[in-house]
Chain A
Amino acid sequence: MNTNRSTNMVLECKHITKKYKNESVLKDINLTLESGKIYGLIGRNGAGKTTLLSILSAQNPATEGTVTLDGKEVWENQDVLDNICFSRELNPSQGTGSIAGLRVKEYLRIASIYYPNWDQAMADHLVKEFDLDIKKRMSKLSKGMLSMVTIIVALASKSQYTFLDEPVAGLDVFMRDKFYKLLIEEYSETGRTFIVSTHIIDEASMVLEDIIIISKGELLMRANTEDLLARTFHVSGKSEDVEGAVAGLSVYREETIGRSKGVTVILKENQQINRNYDIDIQPVSLQNVFLALCDDSKEK
């Protein structure tokens, strides 16, 4: 895949910790992100996704730890930052702050100056694709329209590393579909690296080559999506049969009703479910894997 790309950059964060006063928002995050993939960043509200993306793009300083692109520090290093675009989520409720009074046209113009590889033809094309009125003021845009602006900035920036924070929030199902197709098209043509955060997990799962799951500021899982799904199962049946079948495995989300039980198992290498018991085994969606991993209802 994408072997024709010349770039083999690596974005690396080591021991990233972020504290606001006494509250730890990120705790010792270590990640190595090879270029040329579409990554999904998944986590519950307040897990630290936006903070992580803002630190990776040097828009926010880490309390501890370093972020490097090809071994060069990202912080206050414009040469390196020219390769990174963090297209922030825009919210109508915030009044979109200092940009509220700007027209979409003007906002895109500022982005075009900010990103050195900006592709104006692409921006124009996307404005038409989304049927966005660029004469409107940012403060007058709906959530969905603001997401379109976020997507346009991200794609037209042509940055090697491009981060999209909740790009499909507020978009209807047609526009979400359009976004995924645009993303895949751009990725196929250029091999750019994308990190996409989203809460609409199952819809995105087929697009995301690798997923990064964070929970309460900690890195919970980094895995190839296909591989993770291939080793995660829902096992159900009579309680004692299920217990026998999954003995010794990592078990999540146990649910019992009467004599029956259902559990999610994530198999490690060389592990398997004991099929000598009378049980049903089903594949699970990425959303269910996420629910299993981030289920803290047991913590009391």
Chain B
Amino acid sequence: MNEFLTQEKSIYLQISEMLENDILRDILLEEERVPSTNELAKLYSINPATAAKGINILVDSGILYKKRGIGMFVTSGAKDMIKAKRKADFYDNYIVTLLREADALGISKKELADMIVKENPKNEYK
């Protein structure tokens, strides 16, 4: 929760991603309360409406749920949900840009594959 915000991306998306990162890294545990909209707003000096928007994305996707009068909590199974979602985005976010840059530099498919294998001695991605 203590990353810096950048101007490169919508603030509410950064807020929801930071919460996701914290869940993936066990900084926030499942069934644990997450910081409130106002706490996040004050921590990052952002408008509470923006913080609420970031939290609401996670509520809509079922990663957080609301306990009336208490606050927002991490859903059981949230970690797996985040992983599944990010896997689905992986192609668009990483592979497409990787291939685009490789193409611009004239790196062949074979060279690219070799690089990936070399980077992983255990040949996990062979």
| Residues on B with beta carbons closer than 8 Å to the beta carbon of A206 | 5, 11, 44-47, 50
Using a Cβ cutoff of 8 Å, how many contacts connect chains A and B? 52
Residues in chain B near residue A249, CB distance under 8 A: none
CA distance A207 to B49 in the complex (A): 9
Q: How many chain B residues have a CB neighbour from A under 8 Å?
A: 20
In the assembled complex, the CB of A262 is this many whole angstroms from the nearest CB of chain B, namely 17
Interface string of B39-56 (1 = CB under 8 A from A): 001101111111011000
Rank and list the top 8 A-B pairs by shortest CB-CB distance, nearest first: A188-B38, A206-B46, A180-B45, A285-B7, A1-B49, A209-B47, A184-B41, A209-B49
Interface check B73, CB cutoff 8 A: no
Shortest B123–chain A CB gap in Å is 35
A225 to B38, alpha carbons, bound, how many Å? 19
Given A184-B47, A184-B48, A230-B10; 5 other pairs, CB 8 A cutoff = A1-B48, A38-B47, A206-B5, A206-B44, A283-B9
Least CB distance from A248 to B in Å reads: 25
- Determine the distance from Cα of A225 to Cα of B46 in the docked complex, in whole angstroms: 12
In residues 6-44 of chain B, which contact A (Cβ within 8 Å)?
7-12, 37-38, 41-42, 44
- For A268-297 the 0/1 string (1 means CB < 8 A from B) is 000000000000001101000000000000
Q: CB-CB < 8 A to A124: which residues of B? A: none
Q: Is A181 part of the contact surface with B, judged by Cβ < 8 Å?
A: yes
Cross-chain pairs A/B with CB under 8 angstroms, 27 sampled:
A1-B52, A37-B49, A38-B47, A184-B42, A184-B45, A184-B47, A184-B48, A185-B42, A188-B38, A188-B42, A188-B48, A206-B11, A206-B44, A206-B45, A206-B47, A207-B45, A207-B47, A208-B47, A209-B47, A225-B47, A226-B50, A226-B53, A229-B10, A230-B10, A282-B8, A283-B8, A283-B9
Task: Render A28-60 as a binary contact track against B, CB cut-off 8 A, 1 for contact.
Answer: 000000000110000000000000000000000
Residues of B within 8 A of A185 (CB): 42
B contacts with A: majority SS? helix
Min C-beta distance of B109 to chain A, whole Å: 20
State the B residues within 8 Å of A (CB): 5, 7-12, 37-38, 41-42, 44-50, 52-53
- Which chain B positions have C-beta within 8 A of A207? 45-47
Q: Are A226 and B12 in contact (CB under 8 A)?
A: yes
> Judging by beta carbons under 8 Å apart, are B48 and A226 in contact?
no
Contact of B45 among A37, A181, A225, A283 (CB under 8 A): A181
Judge whether B7 and A177 touch: CB under 8 Å.
no
Q: What are the residues of chain A within 8 A of B53 when measuring CB–CB?
A: 226
What CA separation (Å) do A209 and B11 show in the bound complex? 12
Q: Does A70 contact B (CB under 8 A)?
A: no
Known contacts A181-B42, A206-B5; A187/B48 CB under 8 A? yes
Residues of chain A contacted by B42 (CB below 8 angstroms): 181, 184-185, 188
